[in-house]
Amino acid sequence: MSRSTTHRSPARNEVQEAPPDSPLTTKEGWRRFVEHEPVPPVLMSAGERAALSPRERLRDDERRRDYHADLPLVNTPTIRKVIATSRLLVQLNRRQFSARRGVIISGASGTGKTTALSQLGRAHELATRRRFPRERGRLPVLYATVPPAATPRMLAMEFARFFGLDFPRRANITDVVNSVCTTAAHTNVDLVLIDELHNLNLGTRTGAEASDQLKYFAERLPATFIYAGIDVEDQGLFAGTRGRQIAGRFTVIPASPFSYTPGADRDAWQALVGTLESMLRLRHHQPGTLAGMGEYLYHRTGGMIGTLSQLIRGAAVLAMEDSSERITQELLEAVPIDYAAEQSERLTAPTKSRKRRNRAA
């Protein structure tokens, strides 16, 4: 590294408190995400709640409201496949000096790609901490996103930002890349997660150069690279010489909406709904209510895990705000959902359900 470039490397045993606005793309934000584990609040009986003071009841309600707004994630089939495949590749890549294998998670928006990517990283980091309990300075996972219209320098700076490296304005890209690779080696990074891969446009010179920069990082860092992006197969990622090289090194795991086809697909959806329902901490909610609305929930969300989570979390919060403490279909109708799910519902929901919703509008 040239004398004109300075940077700060994280201390080996440094324990930093993440600022409240730290994103996953910083080591502080990533650490806070890994260590965050929603704890289900105790659901009190009517007698126990009556014995509380008004202030204590308000405090209990606030805890439960916060919990429902941040329900624990469900381990979907996509997440399980991403974790199993990626952790195997981490093992296989440890003795490889080049041409390491990786994974690309590809699918439409709302199908859980970022969730799968982040849960993989969390599982890997927690497993690494168990193996090396005394090495608090170890950073086994690097998480970054591809910015829109990314250039090679922009990508390098995203990697540097994760570590908290500072550079003078005139620092060249070679200095940035060398500092990133040195820091990654010192902190034992062995899994690199890259989100928003669809922002790379290999059809442009800048996009092709940015892709080459990612490939260079993959060659320099002794790590397994996992990418996630929207329908990357349709973005030209596997076209041309660069694309063929990517296709030859990466396994593509599709992230798709759930199906409601009778059999295993429908059973998987019902199990997902049942798992989310079991997490609720509402005083008057009858278990099995949401499971009984499995078909309605499927058509309302288009089978999208992200939309389903938003719908149930939103209904739980509303159930506390109106003091009903139970989720009904009427309450679910009051929760706003994304435009894509609304369009899917118009096309797939049973006629009776559509007519009812039209009258309500």
**Tens digit of each residue's pLDDT (9 = 90 or more) over 228-242:** 999 988 877 887 777
Q: What is the pLDDT of residue 360?
A: 45
Residue 6, pLDDT > 60, answer no
What's the rounded mean pLDDT across residues 295-320?
A: 95
Residue 272, pLDDT > 90, answer yes
Yes or no: say if 302 and 345 are a contact pair by the CB < 8 Å rule: yes
Six-digit token string for 262: 């009778």
Indicate the average pLDDT of the chain: 88
Q: 77 or 355: which carries more pLDDT confidence?
A: 77
Alpha helix locations (H) across 279-321?
294-301, 305-321
Yes or no: say if 183 and 204 are a contact pair by the CB < 8 Å rule: no
77-255, what's its fold?
A: Rossmann fold (3.40.50)
Q: What is the pLDDT of residue 1?
A: 38
Give how far Cα 116 sits from Cα of 45, 139, 169, 344, Å: 36, 19, 35, 23
pLDDT band at 283 (very low <50, low <70, confident <90, very high): very high
What's the rounded mean pLDDT across residues 83-109?
A: 91
Give how far Cα 251 sits from Cα of 36, 143, 222, 326, Å: 30, 19, 18, 43
Rounded to 5°, the CA angle 158-162-166 comes to 80
Instruction: Give 99's DSSP letter.
Output: S
pLDDT band at 341 (very low <50, low <70, confident <90, very high): confident
Q: Please state whether 251 falls in left (phi above 0), alpha (psi between -120 and 50) or beta.
A: beta
Q: What is the pLDDT of residue 195?
A: 97
> How does pLDDT run across 195-213, given as a tens digit for each residue?
999 998 888 899 889 999 9
What's the rounded mean pLDDT across residues 340-347?
A: 82
Place of tokens 């991403």: 82
Q: Where are the domains of the chain?
A: 77-255, 259-360
- Distance from the Cα of residue 277 to its chain's centroid: 21
> How does pLDDT run across 110-143, given as a tens digit for each residue?
899 999 999 999 999 999 999 999 998 899 999 9
Q: 308 or 97: which carries more pLDDT confidence?
A: 308
Yes or no: say if 251 and 101 are a contact pair by the CB < 8 Å rule: yes
Residue 351, pLDDT > 80, answer no
- Distance from the Cα of residue 218 to its chain's centroid: 22
Contacts of 234 (CB under 8 A, 6+ apart): none
Yes or no: say if 326 and 284 are a contact pair by the CB < 8 Å rule: yes
Six-digit token string for 196: 């928003």
Yes or no: say if 221 and 189 are a contact pair by the CB < 8 Å rule: yes
